[in-house]
Chain A
Amino acid sequence: MYQQFKIRAEGVSAEVYHFVTKEAALDHVINFLQADGLADTSGALAVWAECSFLDGIDRDALRKIAGLKFEVTRELAAQARFGISQMEWALADTGSLAQNSTAIEQRLVSSLPSIHIALVPTNGILPDMPTLLSRVHPAECRYLAMITGPSRTADIERVLTIGVHGPDRLVIIFVDELGGGC
């Protein structure tokens, strides 16, 4: 299913990576941020929303990296270039990610910045949407968000253009060590 997901997701301009350990995934994220201009200035910040990936990770050490924030506010998210969150599920047949986004922070980091980095437990890959909907109980999952590739439009002359109101890059990182979704 991972291969199918990767083909579909790349087909809609998402970038897909896979790591076995959290450590390797974290290294990749930090390298990615720094290579792409992470800095402690407006427009270059990264905001990282609460997630199980961060369990057992020394946040204080990470806080020393200039521009990386774990306190997600509207203002910070609006100034951030990078938003990082964990998406619980991936749908193999459409290359989509899905998350219980009831907490506003989860939506802020994945909608306001121009690059969204999504960490996904590898065993969160489901075959399709019917499977996803059979696992979700809307009363508990007040805001179910599905994301398929970056923000796009074809409203001017039908020319596909990436990045309108949402991120113009979606970087998906599967991590085996993360286990299952919530």
Chain B
Amino acid sequence: MGTEFKESITRAVNNANLTGALGKFSEAYKVNRAKAYEGIDFEELRGRIAELKGYAAAHLDELSDQFQKNAEACGATVFRTKDPAKVREYILKIAQENGVKTVIKSKSMATEEIHLNRYLEEAGIEVGETDLGEWIIQLAGQTPSHMVMPAIHMTKEEVSDLFSKEVNERLTSDIPRLVKVARDKLRPTFLAADMGISGGNIAVAETGSIVLMTNEGNARLVTSLPKIHIALVGIEKLIEKFADVATILQALPRSATAQLLTSYVSVITGPTPNSDGSMKNMHIILMDNRRSEMAADPKFKQALQCIRCASCLNVCPIFRLVGGHVFGKVYTGGIGTILTAWFDELKKSEDIQGLCIQCGACTDVCPGKIDIPDLIMEIRRRLVKDQGLPLLQKTIYAVVNNRKLFHGMLRAASIAGKPFTSGKFVRHLPLFLADLTNGRSLPAIAEEPFRDRIKKISQPKFKEKAAFYAGCLIDFAYPEMGESLVKILNNGGIEVIFPEDQTCCGAPARYNGAYEVAASNAVDNINALLREDVTYVVSACPTCTVALDHEFISTFESLGQTEWLPQAKILAEKTVDLSTLVTKLVAAGRLTMKEGQKLGKITYHDSCHLKRTLKVSEQPRELLQKAGYELAEMFECDTCCGMGGSYSMKLPEISAPILQRKLKNIKDTGAPLVAMDCPGCVMQIRGGIDQDGAAIIVRHTVELLAEQLEK
């Protein structure tokens, strides 16, 4: 990552206004969004949206033709182009032909995308933004920090300073008064403007209509007062049927700002009369700018299902820390990363794609059903393919790809780490790794890895066998978790085998775009884990489970490698996470826990991969309660802890505040114990608690359950 980029992150996370405003908003958003969707089957609704938008993305040419025909039949002029430069020229030409001196605009990301304002201003035309947030940032000479709330990063005091200059009057920071000042200041501009430029939230092919939504009422004025109206619409806004407008409008305001509907919705079909009796001069520009290339890409066509609600920003634990400016000048957040890679260029997304911690919070709320983290991974993969890996990473993966060398080095680290180890934590790392321990202690490498320890466990012989996939953390840092797992499964009548040749699950490589490395890890693991006939392949690390269950397959698919696919699918069938397997054993009466235990309060942290990819969240809670713990839920229990594998090492400045937030939420429950199903989260949270000094014990569910088994 570039120094400049790193600096922009540091600036953002240290900007208390920004993180304060975004933090408060993200907390309120979650509650309000849920309320706005009350009585609506969100899964069903987003299924319909994904389908109708997916259909439109697959028929862009056809729908553009249909739109043009119908809009022109109603009297609008439709201009279609692939090229943003042609859009700018077209708008300027219309303006010059009609002697336009002033333009008013309602909010349009498409015009931001092509930097229209600057172009028109350079040609001597005055351009006024009228959306309050856009106007504020225009006055401040900035760019939007959020797609729906462009000025969310600014305080009322800053706004008051800007407005004071604008109206030559010392204003206070009273918000209603500032809003009134904006109304009064902009009203004459509206009335005098020669041309209105809007975007379009939806374009309907069947009728040639465009749909505009605002809360302020500025789009109504922009489309009503000037005699010329130009609507700039990206072709991804096309839908086929008029009736489907209702489907999108059911989701868009609810997901964007948790409103049932925006204050104003205008559905405009061709020109309407002006107040002097003449007809409006109406132009609709359908802009491609790589959208049809995107539609032709088997992976990225999905991104065209976006309805631009920005809910992926609103729930993102990273976005709420850094805000939009770190992402660049136009589209921000998760979807913005993808749009920047396409509408701008892949290279521009090089830094920002690294901001995604892959927690998947956005996939849960996306009304277009877009797998945003997966698409960001695909960007990473393509960047690595284009540019190769940085040297340091290359060296690391060369090691990871050679199991014997890798494991040998881990064993060596257990000795080499000694001078830096105090108790269970590495407290003093060499200087160049100092960032790693920022706000968090790292675990010491175990003296004896699990692969050695299991040989000393004498297991009863059972007919049913499970292969244990330990993953690097349990094998080399937390072997006691593996021992607990063996104890539990033995108790449930399953013998645990440990295939020695298992190696890294490939997640670190994959999450860094090194798919070839991940694929080679996958092959090694498939060979190791399927060698012996077992009923289950069990893991107590959700990231590893996801690798075995989903990612081996998708890695092969992304690379177009089919040879190992059938084996990968067999492995996926057998793969199960610890909590799900134990729940099964308990339900079948094969495993019983001590009766009537009163173990006191516990709180539970949901690991991202377990909850959102594997959809497991109730099972560990029920098991822990069955064992005798009293569950006290923490605030934002399923928000990422900030670990994200190597993320915490690459972006400690973001990972650390996310961890601090998690620690606070844990402490606020008053529980002396916090459980989780992921050794990575244990590493992050236990390390954080260690530095924090709080008297809270951090444990993997597997350890807690193993202690409460009926003998």
Interface residues of A (CB under 8 A from B): 8, 12, 73-74, 78, 93-96, 101-105, 107-108, 111-112, 128-130, 132-134, 136, 138-139, 141-159, 161-167
Contact = CB atoms under 8 A, between A and B. Distances in A.
B175 A159 contact: yes
B272 interface: yes
Contacts of B152: 155, 158
Contact of A8 (B149, B156, B260): B260
A55 to B, nearest CB: 22
B175 A161 contact: yes
Given A142-B269, A166-B264, A158 B149 contact: yes
Given A153-B216, A156-B175, A158-B24, A130 B265 contact: no
Given A94-B260, A108-B275, A153-B179, 4 more contacts: A74-B275, A133-B243, A146-B267, A157-B175
Given A145-B220, A158-B24, A164-B216, A138 B242 contact: yes
B464 to A, nearest CB: 54
Interface string B430-470: 00000000000000000000000000000000000000000
A102 B152 CA distance: 35
B140 interface: no
A144 B242 CA distance: 12
Nearest to B213: A146
A143 B217 contact: no
B178 A156 contact: yes
Contacts of B24: 158
The 6 closest A-B pairs by CB, nearest first: A166-B217, A155-B133, A164-B216, A138-B269, A144-B267, A146-B265
Q: Which of B178, B218, B269, B274 has the most CB of A within 10 A?
A: B269
A108 to B, nearest CB: 7
Contacts of B250: 129
B426 to A, nearest CB: 42
Nearest to B276: A74
A78 B682 CA distance: 63
Contacts of A108: 224, 275
A152 B186 contact: no
B245 interface: yes
A134 B246 CA distance: 10
Contacts, number: 180
A114 to B, nearest CB: 9
A111 B220 contact: yes
B207 interface: yes
Nearest to B180: A163
- The majority secondary structure among interface residues of chain A is loop
Interface string B206-250: 011100000111101101110000000000000000110110011
A157 B156 CA distance: 6
B139 interface: no
B249 A129 contact: yes
Given A153-B179, A163-B183, A143 B275 contact: no
Contacts of A95: 260
Nearest to B190: A165
Contacts of A142: 74, 268-272
B218 A141 contact: no
B259 to A, nearest CB: 8
Given A142-B272, A166-B216, A155 B265 contact: no
A156 B263 contact: no
Contacts of A144: 266-269
Q: Which of B131, B152, B216, B257 has the most CB of A within 10 A?
A: B216
B136 interface: yes
Contacts of A107: 220, 224
Interface of B: 21, 24-25, 28, 73-74, 130-133, 136, 149-152, 154-156, 159, 175-176, 178-180, 182-183, 186-187, 190-191, 204, 207-209, 215-218, 220-221, 223-225, 242-243, 245-246, 249-250, 257, 259-275
A165 B216 contact: yes
Nearest to B217: A166
Contacts of B243: 130, 133-134
Nearest to B188: A78
Contacts of B156: 156-157, 159
Nearest to A134: B243
Contact of B176 (A12, A104, A147, A161): A161
A167 to B, nearest CB: 8
12 contacts: A93-B260, A104-B272, A108-B275, A129-B246, A133-B246, A138-B74, A142-B271, A151-B216, A153-B179, A155-B133, A156-B178, A161-B175
Nearest to B244: A133
B21 A158 contact: yes
A94 B38 CA distance: 12
Contacts of A159: 156, 175
Contacts of A8: 260
A78 to B, nearest CB: 6
A165 B186 contact: yes
Given A157-B21, A163-B183, A164-B132, A143 B266 contact: yes
B272 A102 contact: yes
A11 B12 CA distance: 36
A130 B517 CA distance: 51
Nearest to B215: A152
A73 B273 CA distance: 13
Contacts of A149: 263
B589 to A, nearest CB: 48
Contacts of A78: 187, 191
B218 A164 contact: yes
Q: Which of A101, A133, A138, A139 has the most CB of B within 10 A?
A: A138
B554 to A, nearest CB: 37
B33 to A, nearest CB: 14
Contact of B149 (A12, A152, A155): A155
A157 B160 CA distance: 12
Given A74-B225, A104-B274, A129-B246, A138 B207 contact: yes
Contacts of B263: 12, 147-152, 166
B245 A164 contact: no
B14 to A, nearest CB: 19
B237 to A, nearest CB: 16
A166 B25 contact: no
A156 B132 contact: yes
Given A107-B220, A130-B243, A163-B179, A155 B132 contact: yes
Contacts of A134: 243
A129 to B, nearest CB: 4
Given A146-B261, A158-B152, A165 B221 contact: yes
B266 A165 contact: no
A101 B178 CA distance: 30
Contacts of B215: 151-154, 164
Contacts of B176: 161-162
A34 to B, nearest CB: 24
Contacts of A145: 220, 264-267
